[in-house]
Amino acid sequence: MFQFSAPPPLSLYIHFPWCVHKCPYCDFNSHAIRGEVPESDYIEALLRDLEQELPAVWGRTVQTVFMGGGTPSVFSPRAIDQLLSGVRARLPLNPDAEITLEANPGTVEQEKFAGYREAGVNRLSIGIQSLNDSHLKALERIHNAAEAIRAATAARHAGFDNFNLDLMFGLPGQTTEQSCDDLLAAIELQPAHLSWYQLTLEPNTRFYAQPPVLPDSDRLWDMQSKGHSQLAAHDYTQYEVSAFALTGRRCRHNLNYWRFGDYIGIGAGAHGKITDGGQGVITRRWKQRHPQAYLATAGSAKCVDDQRDLTGAEAVFEFALNQLRLKQGFDLGEFEASCGLQRGRILPILQQATRDGLLVLDGSKVRHTDEGWRFLNNLLERFLPEETPHAGSNPD
Ligand SMILES: C[S@@+](CC[C@H](N)C(=O)[O-])C[C@H]1O[C@@H](n2cnc3c(N)ncnc32)[C@H](O)[C@@H]1O
Ligand code: SF4
């Protein structure tokens, strides 16, 4: 049984499962639009889904909202307004809540951004991926570099100074110089935040089935170290493996995930993690993945594809997996508060990792050594639960 003095902060994730085109590298739950997007049916389904979640979070205030996808910006500002009004009517939302919407160039213009802002969105995450036309083509993006720049400029003109740009490196045939050029061009757009991901080949994608030629590990290392220097030189501080922000502009929603906070997940395939302090359980649940199945079941018990309570060993692993992505490390007090377990549960692994030169344990503070940060996967594997868990099992 976990013991909590209070449940951790609560966020809300809302998934939008449609895109104009399915990108060949993407394994997110996103489907190419055929015909019309069932906009109002989907918003109504989301609100029914949310209502079903309410008993589990009664009395708690939502601190951040993230509308991700897929491509939420294929939805009109009117639909987003209806959704956010519906959320506010059903749940207490912190007046200072961070409310992010993912937007793709090629699906937005200034007027649409202004509408999202009026609906209450106060942060945008724009997926530009690259600012090189030939790479954008290889990624089958629906926009070119000029359109990506136009989208970022339009966001600013619509009043969004708090916007993120998603960018990838290690693209097919990319040179280090090209990845540096991409980063510099993105920095010139003055985003508050940059998410800079290495392109990975994910199972169940076209790139996985027919892999393009990607830069080798030496070149990737070169791209990464030069990129980190460029970002630091322009005041973007790395605070997570792929996240860089100007002062005060870290993404509060993602920080809540990485600190092992709670979140309600609504929408097709959305995952949630909720702590029930009274019962001493942490439950993960996820919704029907296919949009049609989701639309048909939202609001009923069938909408929950599955759910399970975490074991103690799983909570330790998931906590470490998330917290150790953060550069700042964590405090053992945070472990006790968000896992509901005594620090003795995690200490032996931390002490061994300290002896092996991967972590520094300073009183109750835990942080990586350079070696630990560089070989993060090795570090994280040490927290893996020893036995395969069974659905519905209790923390030991
Ligand atoms: C949830 S996706 C959706 C964002 C938005 N629909 C778009 O494509 O612009 C968020 C980000 O994950 C990154 N991403 C997706 N697939 C990836 C992959 N295979 N490797 C690395 N990054 C990936 C992209 O940068 C993308 O913008
Ligand atoms: S990368 Fe973005 S636009 Fe492309 S399929 Fe995935 S979610 Fe859709």
pLDDT at 391: 40
pLDDT at 109: 87
Test site for ligand 2: of 28, 108, 147, 197, most ligand atoms within 8 A of the Cβ: 28
Q: Which two tokens stand for residue 77?
A: 């500002």
Ligand nearest, relative to CA of residue 199: 1
Q: Given the structure tokens 């835990």, which residue do they identify?
A: 366
pLDDT tens track of the chain, all 396 residues? 799 999 999 999 999 999 999 999 999 999 999 999 999 999 999 999 999 999 999 999 999 999 999 999 999 999 999 999 999 999 999 999 999 999 999 998 889 999 999 999 999 999 999 999 999 999 999 999 999 999 999 999 999 999 999 999 999 999 999 999 999 999 999 999 999 999 999 999 999 999 999 999 999 999 999 999 999 999 999 999 999 999 999 999 999 999 999 999 999 999 999 999 999 999 999 999 999 999 999 999 999 999 999 999 999 999 999 999 999 999 999 999 999 999 999 999 999 999 999 999 999 999 999 999 999 999 999 999 876 544 433 434
| Protein residue closest via CA to atom 4 of ligand 2 | 23
- Rounded distance from Cα 203 to ligand 1 centre (Å): 15
pLDDT at 386: 78
**89 close to 120: Cβ distance less than 8 angstroms:** no
pLDDT at 108: 87
pLDDT at 170: 98
Give the three-state DSSP class for 330: strand
CB of 73 within 6 A of ligand 1: the answer is no
pTM: 0.96
CB atoms within 10 A of CB 188: 12
Measured CA to CA, the distance from residue 229 to residue 259 in angstroms comes to: 26
**12 close to 264: Cβ distance less than 8 angstroms:** yes
User: What value, to the nearest 5°, has the Cα angle with vertex 178 and ends 176 and 183?
Assistant: 95
Measured CA to CA, the distance from residue 314 to residue 321 in angstroms comes to: 10
